[in-house]
């Protein structure tokens, strides 16, 4: 027990750093899916393609990874025996809601306001989930450090996108991405529960991707019936790889969230997204995208927010 307690700070630090990396993958996937949506002129279809590629890749990995296949059976048994809630099986629909809300609201309110609404929802959702607990995840106290870190993370995002905020957008449209942000924190916690039941992050990732793909397939059918198919699918091959990055951060969340909780994971991924977004805008700018002092300041403040939220008083132990 003493040895395990001594290793806890190292494990937590490693998990936080890994979460920042996961946020970087999320930023890269957002750029890829955004470019694909632009090429196809259809955000929902682009999201379906991304989820479909991820589902196919995870299925192929299960073919050669026996523990992953065994994990699917363990998830089935856990749900059947009542040890795992069947609601955890549809966690991927939260990801589908997020990308759908992006396609519906971003053209009206802009990327900056959408990002602020999503991050606000993620912060509120992660605070509520950590305070209440979920499944085998014990409740975590809402310490002053965690609350200050959460507030600073939201301020960091608002600061980072302040140069692109517009005051003439209909604020009621921000309700959908805000709710989607709350839903994605539940998805992360649900995937962590599936991973615990399966003993395999790949099993949990596959279940999440299947649920998201099915939800997006329904949305895409409606979308195509209204607006028709795209003129062509001639986008570059690399634009169809977003789902592969999705596998990395969904599997990563399934492993990391049970270790550090939803709030700290969310704050670290926000920091990772901002930092990588800065590098992408510098190295591979799109359109009129540029990096200004506010963007850099927001990225730095997000890292400070993670450091504050990670602080634990000497001798403090979670019950």
What digits encode the pLDDT tens for the residues 175-201? Answer: 888 898 899 999 999 999 999 999 999
**pLDDT above 60 (res 35):** yes
Supply the pTM of this predicted model: 0.82
**pLDDT above 50 (res 77):** yes
Q: What is the pLDDT of residue 202?
A: 94
Residues above pLDDT 90, as percent of the chain:
27
Q: Which two tokens stand for residue 58?
A: 């995870």
Could you give phi then psi for residue 231, rounded to 5 degrees? -65, -35
The pLDDT tens digits of the residues spanning 142-175 come to 788 888 888 888 888 888 777 666 656 666 777 8
Q: What is the pLDDT of residue 313?
A: 53
b/e map 124-147, b = 16+ CB within 10 Å: bbbbebbeeebbebeebeeeebbe
Q: How far is Cα 288 from Cα 294, in angstroms, rounded to an integer?
A: 16
Enumerate the domain spans of the chain. Answer: 10-310
**pLDDT above 60 (res 289):** no
Question: What value does the mean pLDDT take over residues 62-84?
Answer: 94
Residues above pLDDT 70, as percent of the chain:
85
Please state, rounded to an integer, the average pLDDT across all residues of the chain.
83
Beta bridge partners of 137: 134
Q: What is the pLDDT of residue 316?
A: 47
Beta bridge partners of 131: none
**pLDDT above 90 (res 273):** no
């Amino acid at each position: 027990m003493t040895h395990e307690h001594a290793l806890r700070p190292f494990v937590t630090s490693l998990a936080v750093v890994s979460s920042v990396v996961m946020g970087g993958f999320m930023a890269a996937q957002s750029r890829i899916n955004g470019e694909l949506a632009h090429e196809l002129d259809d955000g929902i279809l682009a999201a379906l393609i991304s989820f479909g590629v991820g589902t196919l890749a995870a299925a192929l990995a299960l073919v050669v990874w026996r523990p992953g296949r065994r994990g699917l059976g363990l998830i089935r048994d856990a749900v059947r025996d009542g040890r795992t809630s069947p609601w955890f099986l549809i966690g991927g629909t939260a990801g589908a809601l997020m990308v759908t809300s992006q396609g519906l609201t971003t053209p009206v309110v802009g990327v900056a306001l959408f990002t602020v609404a999503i991050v606000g929802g993620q912060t509120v959702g992660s605070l509520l989930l950590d305070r209440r607990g979920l499944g085998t995840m014990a409740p975590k106290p809402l310490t002053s450090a965690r609350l200050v870190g959460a507030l600073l993370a939201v301020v960091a995002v608002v600061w980072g996108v302040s140069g692109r905020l517009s005051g003439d957008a209909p604020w009621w449209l921000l309700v959908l991405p805000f709710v989607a942000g709350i839903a994605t924190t539940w998805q992360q916690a649900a995937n962590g529960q599936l991973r615990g039941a399966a003993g395999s992050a790949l099993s949990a990732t596959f279940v999440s991707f299947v649920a998201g793909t099915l939800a997006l397939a329904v949305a895409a059918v409606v979308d195509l019936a209204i607006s028709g198919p795209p003129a062509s699918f001639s986008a570059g091959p690399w634009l169809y790889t977003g789902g592969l990055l999705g596998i990395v951060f969904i599997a990563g969340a399934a492993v990391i969230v049970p270790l550090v909780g939803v709030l700290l994971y969310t704050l670290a991924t926000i920091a990772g997204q901002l930092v990588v977004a800065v590098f992408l805008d510098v190295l591979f700018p799109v359109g009129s995208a540029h990096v200004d002092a506010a963007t850099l300041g927001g990225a730095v403040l997000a890292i400070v927010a993670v450091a504050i939220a990670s602080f634990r008083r000497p001798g403090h132990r979670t019950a």
